[in-house]
Structure 1
Amino acid sequence: MTLQLVFEMILASVGAAALYTLIGIAPGTDETAVLAPVTLALVLLGVEPIVVLAFFISAVVTLNLTDAIPVAVAGIPGGVMAAPMVPYGMILKKAGQSVIGIEKMASGAVIGTLVAVPVSLILASFLAPLSKVIAAYSAPVFFFGALFLALMSRNKVISILVIIPFAMLIQGLRYLYWGVGAVPETTTVSLSFFLGITIGPMIFSMLALLNKDHLATIKREDVRTIVIPKASNRKGFPNPFKLLTKKEAVATAASSLGGSLTFFMSPVGMTILFGEAVVNRIKDPIKKARMALASMDGLAHSTYIAGILIPLIALGIPLSPVAIGPANPLFNAAPVFTADHNMHHVLSYGDFVWATLIGSIIGLGLTYFFMMKYATHISRFVFKYIPHEAILGLFISLVAMLAYMDGGLINIAGVVLVAIVSGALSRLGVNYGVLFMAMYAAPWMLSKFF
């Protein structure tokens, strides 16, 4: 590794922290939809893999830190991962403790990252010898993973019933592209379909507004008033271990360890499951909210980081909801990365360690410091000057461009179809992870069942 590469990693990590601080504070931005397209663009532009990884780790840490701010300030999830924390954020907001809510979430995120990085690197080294065995059974693993996530969904029956039909849709579009000559038969379109799934709820909601009957049923609310809390007067670098009580710190560390070990499961599902288990015996609503915000944010960080690093280092296949979702361009980004030649194959274990350490330290250090010092100022700027619609429009246009690169004009229509179907299924309560895993298991499922 050269000094130039180290400098590029540092620069990329700082850039990711700056970019995703602004994006993370904007309410309602889905993690996959804002991480995957930018990462994919960097890979296709030929940026060094180790630099891309440092950028991605910094972006993940930053995004999961900053999307806590809308929860505490406005009671709106900054992203999907923050959604389980909204009720507890609202409790503290109504009690006039929004700043304390931000402190608890940010401190929990620090502990979650500190636990997840070493645990993920150690666990990956233990699983690496089994990579060929696990990879050989990856297709059935994806299928059973889809079933498992379906059973964890709030609408289990629908989630199970749609697995095979959705796989038929994906595989049917692939055969259509081969049949009309849009792509060679040696090319399997996956990335743009995956992006279609991520923007599905957004596309479905936008199209639903064109239905006059549906539009008439939507309840119109007054303009929402958002009160930005006063800035903290704390001086120096805030110590996360002093901002949490001993019980909060221990609970956050324990739940973060559990999240790291269950990297193959849904991060949102684990956040709800472990987070609620930690606080279910606490009676005082304020203490319960503080504990929940700290432990849930730590758990969200640990599950996310482990879900990226362990499949990437040990297996080389996206064998977790996070790896299948936002981290997918690190595994599949043809022609740069393929299933047989991706970041797992081109980076050494030492490269992974350096990229992870640089990305996480810079993302955590910069974002945590600025969150604790300037959260209110940043929130005021984002809420006032950065329209949510502009961010969504930017990423929809990026998805359209990548769809065209993946399969031409016909693929843009295919991605819209996938987005509409996945958006409708999401509205019915089907988990993202179910659709992602069904997409990857589609060839195996259809060959076995039909």
Structure 2
Amino acid sequence: MDPVIIIQIVIAAILGAGLYTLIGIAPGTDETAVLAPVTIALVLLDFSPYVILAFFMSAIVAKKLTDSIPVAVAGIPGGVMSAPMVEHAMTLKEHGLPDQSIKKMSSGSVIGTLVAIPLSFIVGSLIIPHADVISEHSGLIFTLGAVFLALLAKNKILSLLIIIPFGILLQGLQHLYWGLGVIPEDTTIFVSFFLGITIGPIVISLIELIDKNHRDSLPFLGKKEIQIKNTKKEKGLPNPFKILNKKESGSSALGSVIGTLTFFLTPVGMTVFIGEFTTRHIKDPVKRASRALATMDGVTNASYISGTLIPLIAIGLPLSPMAIGPAAGLFNAPPEFTPEHNIHHLLTPVEMLIVSVIGAVIALLITYFIIIRYAQNIVRFVFKYIPHEALIGLFAGLVVMLAYMDAGFLNIFGTLLVAFVAGLLYKNGVNYGVMFMVLYAAPWLLGLFG
């Protein structure tokens, strides 16, 4: 890589860390909803693959570092992956230690990052010899993945039953566009359908608010008051291995290794399982909560990083919940990226390692330092001046723009239909992973009936 590319990578990493440090603190910002649209937009704007990967790695590390803050301060998940940590964070808050929650979680994230990146490249390298076989049977793998994730969903029966009908909806819209001449027959729609699934719950909520009877039935909460306790500022460069004791560091590292090796499983499920398994023997509630938070945050970071890097290095197909969710744009964002032409094909494993390390290290240096030193100031700013609705509106608008770019005006309504159905399914216990897997599996799965 020449010096110009290195400079671009560093700038992209700094921008990613800065942007997602703020976004991560905003409560309720789903990882897929805030990462996928921006990543896909960068791909479609024809940025260098080095820049895109550096931005994404920096963004995901920064997002996972900062989404612990609203959990510790207000008991509100900063994202889907931080939801399992609410109970333990509230335990520390009840004991007057919200600042300890932030430090333990963010330090666990640092350990998760340090473990996941090198281990992901080792695992990815071991899978490379089998990449051709996996690619050849990708349709079957995606279908089996949908079934597997359906069995892990809250509503298992509905999740299994909708696999074929939801595939019919997606492929039916595709064939409708071909039949009407909206898009050429050699063009496939992916980006807008993927983002339609992503914003499904938001669309359902907005549609429900149109109904006056539903609006009137909602409780009026008024302004919510959140108290933030003042704590002393840390001096010098924070060291996660001093903030965590030896047992917490070891538990976080072990959890990160397991989270990396199980990259193909649901990150939320593994976070809950590993966090509870490694701390259930601890009687003291403060010690148990502290170790659980450090371990769980390490697992989440490791799961997200490995779920992105291992499929990217080994196969170039999104064969993990992370890869089919927030990181989908790195694998498939037509016409720039396709399963046959994406970062896996454009960068060598060594280049991916260098870019990933630069992006992650810059995010750690910037975001971890800011969290430990200035978390309270940032929390006050975000909670006071950045409405949650503004972020939702921003990303929803980006989805509409990308839907229009995909297949014109008609596709805005097609994407809205996908979002509406996906939102209903999500509300009734069908998780994102099942629907994303169906999106990838639908051409092969429905082809069996031809």
The reply on whether 1:195 has 2:181 as its aligned counterpart is: no
8 Å CA contact 2:115–2:253 kept in 1: the answer is yes
Asked if 2 retains the 8 angstrom alpha-carbon contact of 1:49 and 1:343, the reply is yes
Which residue is equivalent to 1:441?
441
In 2: Cα distance, 1:365 partner to 1:262 partner = 27
- Give 2:162's aligned amino acid: V
Distance 2:322 2:173 in 1: 24
State the Cα deviation string for residues 134-191 of structure 1 (Å, max 9, x = none): 0111111111111111111122112111111111111111111111111111111011
The structural deviation recorded for 1:387 is 1.3
Matches of 1:165 and 1:281 in 2, distance apart? Answer: 45
**Aligned residue for 1:14?**
14
2:363 paired with 1:363: yes
Task: State the secondary structure of the residue aligned to 1:279.
Answer: coil
The residue identity in structure 1 corresponding to 2:98 is S
Superposition deviation, residue 223 in structure 1: 2.8
| Alignment pair present for 1:317 and 2:338 | no
CA distance in 2, matches of 1:434, 1:101: 32
Deviations 1:24-79 (A, max 9, x none): 10101111111111111111222110111011000000001111100001110111
Counterpart-to-counterpart distance in 1, 2:443 and 2:92? 48
Question: Is the partner of 1:209 in helix, strand or coil?
Answer: helix
What is the CA–CA distance in structure 2 between the aligned matches of 1:70 and 1:420, rounded to whole Å? Answer: 29
Matches of residues 310-389 of structure 1 in structure 2 within 5 Å? Answer: 310-389=310-389
* Equivalent position of 1:399 in the other structure: 399
SS of 2:210's equivalent in the other structure is: coil
Per the alignment, residue 126 of structure 1 pairs with 126
**In 2, Cα distance between equivalents of 1:275 and 1:169:** 38
Question: Is the Cα–Cα contact under 8 Å of residues 197 and 432 in structure 1 kept in the other structure?
Answer: yes
In structure 1, what is the Cα distance between the partners aligned to 2:281 and 2:208?
Answer: 42
Inter-partner Cα distance in structure 1 for 2:251 and 2:202: 35
- Secondary structure at 1:186's aligned position in 2? coil
Measure, in 2, the Cα distance between the counterparts of 1:321 and 1:184: 30
Q: Assess if the C-alpha contact under 8 Å between 1:151 and 1:160 holds in 2.
A: yes
Residue of structure 1 in register with 2:30 after alignment: 30
Shift of 1:449: 4.5
Q: Is structure 2 residue 225 aligned with structure 1 residue 221? A: no
Q: Quick one: distance in 2 between partners of 1:358 and 1:220? A: 47
How big is the shift at 1:374?
Answer: 0.3
Please report the RMSD computed on the Cα atoms of aligned residues, expressed in angstroms. 1.2
CA–CA distance in structure 2, aligned partners of residues 21 and 190 of structure 1? 29
Alignment of 1:224-235 (within 5 A): 224-235=224-235
8 Å contact from structure 2 (residues 69, 379) kept in 1: yes
- Does the aligned pair in 1 maintain the 2:332–2:338 contact within 8 Å? yes
| In 1: Cα distance, 2:449 partner to 2:111 partner | 45
> What residue number does 2:156 align with?
156
- Of the structure 1 ranges 162-171 and 304-313, higher mean CA displacement relative to structure 2 is found in 162-171
Q: Offset at 1:290?
A: 1.1
Letter of the aligned partner of 1:379 in structure 2?
A: V
Shift, 1:284, TM fit = 2.3
Residue 200 of structure 2 aligns to which amino acid in structure 1?
A: G
Letter in 2 for 1:162: I
**Within 5 Å, which residues of 2 pair with 1:417-432?**
417-432=417-432
Task: Calculate the TM-score normalised by the size of structure 1.
Answer: 0.98
Q: Decide whether the 8 Å contact of 1:231 with 1:374 is kept in 2.
A: no
Deviation at 1:447, TM superposition (A): 1.9
- 1:231–1:373 contact (8 Å) kept in structure 2: no
- 1:295 maps to 295
Question: How far apart are residue 222 of structure 1 and its match?
Answer: 4.5
Q: TM-score, normalised by structure 2?
A: 0.98
* Contact 1:92–1:289 (8 Å) recurs in 2: yes
- Residue 58 of structure 2 corresponds to 58
Contact 1:311/1:323 (<8 A) preserved: yes
Aligned residues: 450
CA distance in 2, matches of 1:367, 1:226: 23
CA distance in 2, matches of 1:20, 1:260: 23
Structure 2 unpaired stretches of 5+: none
CA drift of 1:89 comes to 1.3
Q: Is 1:103 the equivalent of 2:103?
A: yes
Alignment CA distance shift 1:240-1:380 (3 Å): same
Counterpart position of 1:179 = 179
- CA drift of 1:233 comes to 2.3
- Cα contact 1:194–1:436 (8 A) shared by 2: yes
CA contact (8 A) 2:190 2:334 kept: no
Instruction: Confirm or deny: 8 A CA contact 1:279 1:288 kept in the other structure.
Output: yes
Change (3 A) 1:158 1:280: farther
- Aligned residues of 2:200 and 2:423 also touching (Cα < 8 A): yes
